[in-house]
Chain A
């Protein structure tokens, strides 16, 4: 979250990704960094123990959130690999 807000401060669009075990920390860190309404993407916990298939599932979970936060509505040309 700190990195995401630092990018934003420097004018770079960024989306912070957290697992849903870290909502409290994410919100606190955003508030501490001066972005109380900072939006971020959350995926299910855990991550570290997943295999490649599990990671792909988390990516599917994250992608619509990331696109929405970035304001991207036209995803033509993007295809799932």
Chain B
């Protein structure tokens, strides 16, 4: 590898110039293996959360280390500020990321750890807005849902390590996911505010533009939208609405088993979607004169399915059985179930859907020490 340090040239004796010795690395590896053997990891190596490291993170917040940030009464577990710091250390966060992670945990608390036990195997996408994105180096452009950016990866990963280690929600045990999703490892991104034609998410929610915030939702996975051959807002958005309406997401919600048919609209009270518009799509739509509210209204109107299609897929709610073949049933209970953000690179006609369940948690303000 280019630039790889040559540790092999060091014989393991104590180094006087601060260089790592081979013996240092052997010890580090033993510490990493100890974490694996102790069952503290998500399957990847973690940084051992020794007290010195945890205290370094705690110095980046004014919060009392014993303050409870998130509680799970049914599991009889709480996550304190100190617990959160340990998880952030383990995930590989830098200490200065810690206030952002605290906000993420507080946002997550309102969703509740119970939702992390579902057979659906939900991920918890973390959306970050405001100046903290540039200060911490949170990726908002290329490859936002892929690997390579420390802040995105480790802040997102710390949340999963909290579920694993503090709430003990582990696979084969309290985590009942049938399949899960790679997005459960981490899913954290920043809004590309600089290339968005609209005001950012946190400003939509009443925050000042120079505030930094965190928002969280539950999502099953990321769903890729590729449409490079149109600049017509209606065509782009109709493509997204039909993608939001895929049978595997809607049929279960239209079936017996406790789901609620909304008399005033959609057939599931909690279906929700974050529509992550790539800047190119966002630009086409904005140039057509559309606001974010217009987008939400259009998507809400076309997100759903006909009674006939649902019946063919086995949707068994009694209310559907009596409807005409072409009766369209909106999926969501209300337009507010749809959130629109702009993120990703401005290099292709691509967007991503984060389909799952609402309501969104946050935005929560990030408190700097």
CB distance from B190 to the nearest CB of A (A): 35
Q: Are B174 and A32 in contact (CB-based, < 8 A)? A: yes
Q: Is the CB of A33 within 8 A of B172?
A: no
Q: Which of B74, B76, B174, B257 contacts A28 (CB 8 A)?
A: B174
The contact string, 1 if C-beta is below 8 Å from chain A, for chain B 77-90, is: 10000000000000
| Interface residue from B168, B173, B255, B256 paired with A24 (Cβ < 8 Å) | B173
Query: CA A24 – CA B173 in complex, angstroms?
Result: 5
- Is residue B28 contacting chain A, with contact meaning CB distance below 8 A? no
Binding site for A on B (CB under 8 A): 74-77, 117, 168, 172-174, 176, 255-257
Q: Which among B77, B168, B174, B255 has the highest number of chain A CB atoms within 10 Å?
A: B174
Contact indicator A32/B257 (Cβ below 8 Å): no
B181 → A minimal CB distance (Å): 19
Pair A25/B174 contact, Cβ less than 8 Å: yes
CB pair B176 A25 closer than 8 Å: yes
Chain A interface secondary structure, helix, strand, loop or mixed? helix
* Residue on B nearest A47 in the bound complex, by CB: B257
Taking the nearest CB of chain B, how far is it from the CB of A11, in angstroms?
19
A2-B74, A48-B255, A48-B257 known; A32+B176 contact, CB < 8 A: no
CB distance from B143 to the nearest CB of A (A): 35
Main secondary structure of the interface of B (DSSP, over half): loop
* Chain B hits for A48, CB < 8 A: 255-257
The CA-CA distance from A28 to B74 in the complex, in Å, is: 12
**Residues in chain A within 8 A of chain B (CB atoms):** 2, 6, 22, 24-25, 28-29, 32-34, 48
Q: Which residue of B lies closest to A27 (CB)?
A: B173
Give the chain A neighbours of B255 by CB distance below 8 A. Answer: 48
- CB distance A32 to B75 under 8 Å? yes
A28–B168 CA distance with the chains assembled, in angstroms: 10
11 contacts between A and B (CB under 8 A): A2-B74, A2-B75, A6-B74, A25-B117, A25-B176, A29-B174, A32-B168, A32-B174, A33-B74, A48-B255, A48-B256
